[in-house]
Amino acid sequence: MIVRPKPNQFAVLFTLKGSIAKRIALRTLMVTLLAAVIVLIEILEPSYFAKVNATPFTLLGLSLSIFMSFRNNACYDRWYEARKAWGEVLVRVRSVMRETQGIAEISLRAPLLRNLCGFAHALNARLRGENEARASADWLSPPIDTGAPDHCGQVLHQVGRQCSELEASGVISAWRYQLLASHLTSLTQAQAVCDRIKTTPLPFPYTLLLHRTIYLFCILLPFAMAESLGWLTPLFTAIVSYTFFGLDAIADELEDPFGRDENDLPTDALVRTLERDVLYELGVSPLPPAAEPDDYVLR
């Protein structure tokens, strides 16, 4: 995720870090060069463009803009829902930390809290297609079977068993056990939300139709502008293609918010925040450093 001060009016024109311009530069350049060729043909053979009318492009551009806004809104909703799910993970783990403050023996409390930190590591790895067991191994006590199909779920099962043992031995009361069980249920729900977003992309025909329409519109647009705008046609074609290609590329990034693109969620930083909270609660020092943006990118 890009974390930087808002650029001033001058810098906003030239800022590339966090911009989508680098990803769409080649496509925009190709369409602009095509527009220049079309203008040259129009100058040499003006009769070819005598019957070209801009009205269809106006209607198509309006429809395409509305269509793209729906897709971008849907992709942003996925990104924001994923961020809320991770916010729920932080809230619930911190709530467990608060509810277990009454456990005097650190040897009983530490495995429970460290397992929850292991859950966060495992969930982060799961959403990024990495090895869940390897990511969480340093935090789990006791170790969990690495062959389980739902490693994150197994971590929560283990925490649930630990809470049950604490309640059975009288370390925590029955009503506090119910509170802890409720927090674990919410963590399961947060994992389910993340899994749903990760495994259910937008319908492919929907995305494919939009990609094709954008390319067709940007390629055909110079034919409508060449006669009236002349050599200004490549400039306006570049502006229009930058806008449409850019919105399309941004939606592609936001559709899967758990990757490592510059605009994806900083889940590594969120997990590090949880690590620091848990270790501080357990009296460990020094704490690992907080995650900081690297060249304005927070991972």
Phi-psi region of 177 (alpha: psi -120 to 50; beta: other; left: phi over 0): alpha
* Residue 92 half-sphere exposure toward CB, CA atoms < 13 A: 24
What residue segments make up the domains of the chain, in order of their start? 31-281
What pLDDT does residue 16 have?
Answer: 64
The dihedral sign for the CA sequence 44, 47, 48, 51: positive
Phi, psi of 294 (to 5 degrees): -110, 110
Most confidently predicted of 16-25, 142-151, 162-171: 162-171
Give residue-wise pLDDT tens across range 261-283: 888 889 999 999 999 999 999 88
Q: What is the DSSP letter of 45?
A: -
Contacts of 131 (CB under 8 A, 6+ apart): 125
Is residue 115 scored above 90 in pLDDT?
yes
- 282 vs 174: CA distance, rounded Å: 24
**Residue 299, pLDDT score:** 73
Whole-model pTM?
0.87
Residue pLDDT, tens place only, 35-49? 999 888 888 877 766
Q: Is 160 helix (H, G, I), strand (E, B) or coil?
A: helix
pLDDT band at 2 (very low <50, low <70, confident <90, very high): low
Residue 15, pLDDT score: 67
Three-state SS at 234: helix
- Joined together, the tokens standing for residue 50 give 């005598």
Query: Residue 298 has what DSSP assignment?
Result: -
pLDDT of residue 12: 59
Angle between helices 204-229 and 233-255 (to 10 degrees): 170
List beta partners, residue 2.
Answer: 297
CB-CB contact of 52 with 223 (8 Å): yes
